[in-house]
Amino acid sequence: MDEKEKITEYINAIYQNIKTAVQSIEDIIPKVTDSKFQKELASEQDKYLALEKECEVFAKAEKIEGIKDNNWFEKAKLWSSINMSTMTDKTTRHIAELMLLGTFMGFLTCIKDQADHQGVSSELDELLTNLKSLERKNIDALLPFLV
């Protein structure tokens, strides 16, 4: 695999992690009734969208055409999972638990992506570090909604 392919693979991994978070929040916010929780999720979404934009700017600068969002099957699976899980339980606690599980999965994905793409791009390493830091902060911010 040449350098550009490695960079493209790396940026796509980061981008898809971010897009999963954005989609999850978009799908779940309409189900949230607690205004404080809604504000937290909206704040998280804004931060993910800023990182998404950074990915797009990086891709454009590197002449990487069309970084890839998650495929329609992954999107449908996520949407179905959220809707099935909240069909009978729309409590703040339950939704916070779902968000925590997803956020922790995103955090773990960051760790794996970091290991899988060592030495590929220091700029992307920094972007991934920022995403990982955001995921960690979001975990801390979501925990109080469990009680």
Diameter over CA atoms, the chain:
49
The reported pTM is: 0.90
Q: pLDDT tens across 19-72, in order? A: 999 999 999 999 999 999 999 999 999 999 999 999 999 999 999 987 877 666
Are 55 and 11 spatial neighbours (Cβ–Cβ below 8 Å)? yes
Rounded Cα gap, residues 122 and 76, in angstroms: 33
Question: pLDDT band for position 88 (50/70/90)?
Answer: confident
Rounded Cα gap, residues 132 and 138, in angstroms: 10
